[in-house]
Amino acid sequence: MRYHESSSLFNSTWDQMMQAMWQRYPNPLSAHVLSEDTLCREVVDGKLHSTRLIIKTNRLPKWGERIVSATKVAVIEHSCIDPKTKIMDTYTSNVGLTKFMSCIERVTYRPSINNPSVTVAERKTWIDSKIFGFGYAIQKFGMDRYKKNIGKTDAGLIYVLAKMFPRPITLQQQDLSVAGPHSATHKQ
């Protein structure tokens, strides 16, 4: 199993971010998202709980096409928004192709402690594969693609924010799993 942590800062308030989260698809940077449906939404103890089904395309390298022929994958997103604490947690996992690879992502959105007009997105991701003899390669492929796609995810959200509100931009992305000469330092 591979694990990854990263964070992004958005030059948008938490309230703006919450509005954009429900309107993030479609956008020009998310052509891989084919559909999005809300399965359940309820308020419990003042918190909004939602479950959404997202269908995405599943582009694989040539070696992956030999193992998996499916071109689409179903993903479930559970979210909880607490308007009192201004925290949104999303838990996303694929429900299709889990024998090939499972990807579980938790993202917490909250206002920055240093600047409440900035929203912090903190990501934690676990990727695993149980394919005998190929598990390591599949996990590496999955994690490399996930890291590459974080920028696209943020850019898509920025696109939606820009259409809804003036001048939102990502200020910083930080990969917390690898420290190197170009790693950003960021403390909340």
Give mean pLDDT, residues 78-82. 98
Is 186 within the bounds of a domain? no
Q: At what angle do helices 14-21 and 135-164 cross, to 10 degrees?
A: 110
Q: How far is Cα 80 from Cα 87, in angstroms, rounded to an integer?
A: 8
Residue 140 belongs to some domain of the structure: yes
The beta-strand segments (E) located in 32-141 are 33-44, 47-57, 72-82, 87-94, 102-111, 119-128
Residue 103, pLDDT score? 97
- Read off the pLDDT band of 167 (50, 70, 90): low
Q: Alpha helices of 10-166 — where are they, by DSSP H?
A: 14-21, 62-65, 135-164
Do the domain assignments include residue 184?
no
Note whether residue 147 is domain-resident.
yes
DSSP 8-state symbol, 58? -
Q: Average pLDDT for residues 60-88, to the nearest whole number?
A: 88
**DSSP H or E stretch at residue 185:** none
Pairing of strands 170-175, 119-128: unpaired
| pLDDT > 70: percent of the chain | 87
Asked if residue 181 is part of any domain, the answer here is no
- What is the number of structural domains in the chain? 1
Q: Which domain holds residue 168?
A: 2-175
Q: Mean pLDDT, to the nearest integer, of 96-109?
A: 94
Q: For the domain that residue 35 is a member of, what is the CATH number?
A: 3.30.530.20
Let me know: does 176 contact 188? Beta carbons within 8 Å. no
Total-model pTM: 0.85
pLDDT at 178 over 90: no
Any domain includes 103: yes
